[in-house]
Amino acid sequence: MLICCNDADLKRTSSQQREDLEKRIDEYYVSWQTHDLEKMWTLLSSREKAGSKKEFIEAWKKVDLRPASYSVIDIEIENGKARVKVKLTMAEHGEEFTGTCFDYWQIESGKWVLVDSGREE
């Protein structure tokens, strides 16, 4: 079952879609940096919310990995789905490392939601 988008979502201009997505990407990484787990939960796709919100929050409370900085390198949008290339400097247990990864987003109920994060290609 595809939960992508409806006609209204697709009719938004590509610049509006990109602008909306950029805001959601910032919300996601800022909420991760600040450990605002409630906000992170709201940015996930329904598929990613397979467990309960409580389980998600409890699991993430145990994670020390946080983005120290991030920058979006490229965004590809097509048919209500997006592939976002991100350069990340991550901090974990006092050490930092930098790399490039891909996040996948889609429009669900009129909003961009995160489908998959941190994929290497």
Residue 7 reports pLDDT greater than 70: no
In a domain, 51, yes or no: yes
In a domain, 21, yes or no: yes
In a domain, 1, yes or no: no
Burial class (CB in 10 A: 0-12, 13-18, 19+), 93: exposed
Give the model confidence (pLDDT) of 34-92 as tens digits: 999 999 999 999 888 888 899 999 998 888 889 999 999 999 999 999 999 999 999 99
Residue 3: predicted pLDDT: 42
Per the model's pLDDT, the better-predicted residue between 121 and 24 turns out to be: 24
Residue 11: predicted pLDDT: 53
Mean pLDDT, rounded, for 18-35? 95
Residue 90: predicted pLDDT: 94
| Domain region containing 62 | 7-119
In a domain, 47, yes or no: yes
Count how many domains the chain has. Answer: 1
